[in-house]
Structure 1
């Protein structure tokens, strides 16, 4: 513990022998020096004035401050300063007691850095952007330069390259453009990726640089950047090498050591997990989109005198397929079928059940003339699907539409699904059909057929529960009343416009991507056959 006595001007008048251990200066060398000169950074006027005021008031204070040792190295000390008062009560100087807290401060800083890094990496599934932010946050705490390279098949892609000094960023960019990691060369990043072992050099001598640079221009660039020490650690997650993190010191005063290597490996491990998680999410999202596409028709049929429009909006998570499905197709004898449904749950099992439902309805509608019989066939198929590990049920609406001289005749049956809305040409609205039982739970569902005669200008709106059950930030539900208002304002609009208006109203209401899948199908009679 170093003890220093100073006068009111901050000049050392006495000190104990421990000052040499802490600061590197001998007692004789410190006498007459200002303690302010030991600070690693200049003391600003506000801090100086505050210190003088406290001394004059006879108050003690304590602080953590970075100081520079005689050899030029820096350390952080905790200093407790107290006024020195003579027998008359006059403040004549200051007694300062200080001790080294560099290791403790470094440990605290490391923990804060790792916490911030984890938050940064886990805050986005865009791993490219996360890695660029990581590189920016890493300098100068981890090093003067941070490079992140990712393996992309046989290639190595530099995702980030950041210098702590903005004035030298252009040199780092040029280095990456002209001398990127050669996937078949002896580049440190490539070695780390291939071997899974960190590459570490506490001192990069000129001889070392000559041996590793590809040509004279390369050597000149790294000399201008003043490379002095580097660490290159692999990004490994779940046993797979994904890339490499490289840190470079550009100051001879900063040589990387074992502690720096350990910290770099910890950061690399977290970065690798973030990259791997983002890639897994991306792959799952692709599978989800592919599965979802199989539940929806590629094209909608052309029905004489009837417009058909549909839209599907996936839930905001984006990487798990939902159970919503719809279809519209020609069943022959001048009739077209429309179906919309929602299988309980999400994921592959829900997608499989939705696929079963869609294809079963297609097959049944080709031979059954009543929608209720189509739903009964679907009910039997779901109950008989022994390959499904858990019970799967769904809600479905099926309608058969036959254009005629006055517009179209629609026969509709509903199995536990939200009732379709009928929007008449005069602006009146009503729900059609009767709810019926959920499909796939009971042996008999007892759904009923209802016939609706559609005239020119009439529209029928089918939808899944994601429309009416969407909530805003205050927990209010979109609901049937608001849907009815949207439809009443859509009278005279085309089928496509009505679909867009319903979906738009739902997204505006929630103010974000939907929490559940949203599907809407609209039929609108535009001419008599």
Structure 2
């Protein structure tokens, strides 16, 4: 434990031999020096004032301070400064007791860094963004430069690069763009990626650097960056190699050692797991979007004198197949079918039922002229199919639209689905349809047909319960009354505008992504046949 005696001006007047060992200076060299000269960074006025106030009040002062040893190395000491008083009680100097806490502080800093980095990585479910956040977080704590390389088949791509000095960021960007690691060359990142074994060196000689460079311009670039020491560790998650994390020191005074390698491996493990989670999420979201798209029509049919518009919003992150679906198609004999439904649940089971429902209704429409019969056929298909999962039911609204000289006639039937709204050209808004049993729950359905005559300018809006059951932050539901008010203000608008008004009102009400899937279809007569 180092003991130093200073006068009130901060000059050293005496010290023990432990002070020599701690700071690297001899007693002769220390005595007469200002203690602030030992600090690695200048002491700010606020800290100096707090120290002086404690000493003047006869109170001890303590803090962790970064100091620079005689050999230029830095360390952290915990210093306790106590006032030295004479027999009259007058403060005449300061007794300072210091001991090395570098290892403790480093351990605390490492744990804090690991916790902060893990939190940061978990905030993004985008694979590339996770790697970029990793690189940005790694400097300057782990190194001056952080490079993240990922293999994709026979190629290696630099996914992220960060420099602790913003003025040199452009150089590491150029390094990645022009000279990504050669997958067939002798590059440490490629070797580590292939073998899964970390590599590190406290010194990067010119000979070593040339062995990793493709040409003189490449070599000149890394020399300009000042590469002097490196660590390269694999990014491995669930037994799968994702790439490598490479840390580079650009200062001769900072040489990587075993402790740095251990920290880098811990960071790489956490980063690889987060990045792989992001990758899996991206893949799952892609599969969900692809499967969801297969449950919706690619285009809506053109109906003489009738506008069609539809919109679908997936709940939450959109990484799981929803249960809502809609369809519109030519049913033959001068009629067009419009169908909307909501399957219980999400995921594969919901997708199976939605797919079954969509294709069954299409097949039924080829021979049935009544929507109620179409729902009956669908009910038989779902109720009798044991492969569609436990939650094998859905709500459906099926409609047939036939343009005529007055506008159009719509015949619709409901299987447990919310009642559609009719928006008349004169601004009246009324519900239509006859409530029926949920499809797939009972051996038989009780769906009944309702016939609606539509004049030019009239519109019918079909929707799933995600519209009216959406909640705001206070738990209030959007509800049928709000939907009716939106539709009253939408009278006279096009089918597309009506749909957008509804979707906009629902999202504005909740202030976030919908909790449940939302599907809306608008059918509007624009001309008589």
TM-score (norm 2): 0.96
Q: Distance in 2 between matches of 1:240 and 1:251?
A: 33
C-alpha spacing 1:493/1:217, structure 2 compared with 1 (3 Å): closer
Q: 1:93 maps to what in 2?
A: 93
Q: Distance in 2 between matches of 1:406 and 1:213?
A: 78
Q: 2:127 maps to what in 1?
A: 127
Q: 1:274 maps to what in 2?
A: 274
Contact 2:400 2:411 in 1 (8 A): yes
Q: 1:517 maps to what in 2?
A: 517
C-alpha spacing 1:430/1:211, structure 2 compared with 1 (3 Å): closer
User: How far is the alpha carbon of 1:515 from its aligned partner?
Assistant: 2.0
User: How far is the alpha carbon of 1:395 from its aligned partner?
Assistant: 0.4
Answer yes or no: is 1:291 the counterpart of 2:306: no
User: How far is the alpha carbon of 1:313 from its aligned partner?
Assistant: 1.9
Answer yes or no: is 1:257 the counterpart of 2:261: no
Q: 2:232 maps to what in 1?
A: 232
What is the number of equivalent residue pairs in this alignment?
529
Contact 2:231 2:247 in 1 (8 A): yes
User: How far is the alpha carbon of 1:454 from its aligned partner?
Assistant: 1.9
3-state SS in 2 of match to 1:49: helix
Contact 2:62 2:78 in 1 (8 A): yes
User: How far is the alpha carbon of 1:390 from its aligned partner?
Assistant: 1.5
The alignment yields a C-alpha RMSD, in angstroms, of: 1.7
- Provide Cα deviations, 1:182-241, integer angstroms capped at 9, x if missing partner: 111111111111111111112223443344444443333333332221001111111111
Q: 1:376 maps to what in 2?
A: 376
Q: Distance in 2 between matches of 1:293 and 1:200?
A: 48
Q: 1:340 maps to what in 2?
A: 340
Q: Distance in 2 between matches of 1:299 and 1:7?
A: 87
C-alpha spacing 1:167/1:501, structure 2 compared with 1 (3 Å): closer
Answer yes or no: is 1:441 the counterpart of 2:441: yes
Task: Tell me whether 364-373 or 191-200 shows the greater mean CA deviation.
Answer: 364-373
User: How far is the alpha carbon of 1:49 from its aligned partner?
Assistant: 3.0
Q: Distance in 2 between matches of 1:388 and 1:406?
A: 43
C-alpha spacing 1:299/1:224, structure 2 compared with 1 (3 Å): closer
C-alpha spacing 1:489/1:211, structure 2 compared with 1 (3 Å): closer
Matches within 5 A, 1:357-396: 357-396=357-396
User: How far is the alpha carbon of 1:417 from its aligned partner?
Assistant: 0.7
3-state SS in 2 of match to 1:70: coil
Task: Tell me whether 293-302 or 336-345 shows the greater mean CA deviation.
Answer: 293-302
- Provide Cα deviations, 1:290-312, integer angstroms capped at 9, x if missing partner: 11111112222222322222222
Contact 2:382 2:388 in 1 (8 A): no
- Provide Cα deviations, 1:459-500, integer angstroms capped at 9, x if missing partner: 111001111111222222111111111111111122222112
Answer yes or no: is 1:303 the counterpart of 2:303: yes
Q: Distance in 1 between matches of 2:176 and 2:459?
A: 60
Matches within 5 A, 1:317-466: 317-466=317-466
Q: Distance in 1 between matches of 2:407 and 2:177?
A: 66
C-alpha spacing 1:378/1:64, structure 2 compared with 1 (3 Å): same
Q: Distance in 1 between matches of 2:173 and 2:385?
A: 59
User: Which runs of 4 or more aligned residues in structure 1 lie more than 4 Å from their structure 2 counterparts after TM superposition?
Assistant: none
Answer yes or no: is 1:136 the counterpart of 2:115: no
Answer yes or no: is 1:162 the counterpart of 2:162: yes
Task: Tell me whether 211-220 or 257-266 shows the greater mean CA deviation.
Answer: 211-220
Contact 2:328 2:337 in 1 (8 A): yes
User: How far is the alpha carbon of 1:156 from its aligned partner?
Assistant: 1.4
User: How far is the alpha carbon of 1:171 from its aligned partner?
Assistant: 3.2
Q: Distance in 2 between matches of 1:216 and 1:329?
A: 64
Q: Distance in 1 between matches of 2:170 and 2:374?
A: 68
3-state SS in 1 of match to 2:388: coil
User: How far is the alpha carbon of 1:25 from its aligned partner?
Assistant: 2.3
Q: Distance in 2 between matches of 1:172 and 1:490?
A: 55
Q: 1:498 maps to what in 2?
A: 498
3-state SS in 2 of match to 1:277: helix
C-alpha spacing 1:163/1:407, structure 2 compared with 1 (3 Å): closer
Q: 1:488 maps to what in 2?
A: 488
C-alpha spacing 1:207/1:476, structure 2 compared with 1 (3 Å): same
Task: Tell me whether 110-119 or 178-187 shows the greater mean CA deviation.
Answer: 178-187
Task: Tell me whether 300-309 or 263-272 shows the greater mean CA deviation.
Answer: 300-309
Task: Tell me whether 164-173 or 149-158 shows the greater mean CA deviation.
Answer: 164-173
Q: Distance in 2 between matches of 1:82 and 1:65?
A: 16
Q: Distance in 2 between matches of 1:512 and 1:470?
A: 10
C-alpha spacing 1:216/1:405, structure 2 compared with 1 (3 Å): closer
Contact 2:200 2:261 in 1 (8 A): yes
C-alpha spacing 1:195/1:480, structure 2 compared with 1 (3 Å): same
C-alpha spacing 1:38/1:393, structure 2 compared with 1 (3 Å): same
Q: Distance in 1 between matches of 2:223 and 2:405?
A: 86
Q: Distance in 2 between matches of 1:524 and 1:39?
A: 78
Unaligned runs of 5+ in 2: none
Q: Distance in 1 between matches of 2:133 and 2:287?
A: 28
Q: Distance in 2 between matches of 1:484 and 1:316?
A: 25
Q: 2:54 maps to what in 1?
A: 54
Task: Tell me whether 332-341 or 165-174 shows the greater mean CA deviation.
Answer: 165-174
C-alpha spacing 1:178/1:304, structure 2 compared with 1 (3 Å): closer
TM-score (norm 1): 0.96
Q: 2:66 maps to what in 1?
A: 66
Q: 1:33 maps to what in 2?
A: 33
Q: Distance in 1 between matches of 2:295 and 2:520?
A: 14
- Provide Cα deviations, 1:36-68, integer angstroms capped at 9, x if missing partner: 111111112332233223322222111110111
Q: Distance in 2 between matches of 1:508 and 1:246?
A: 45
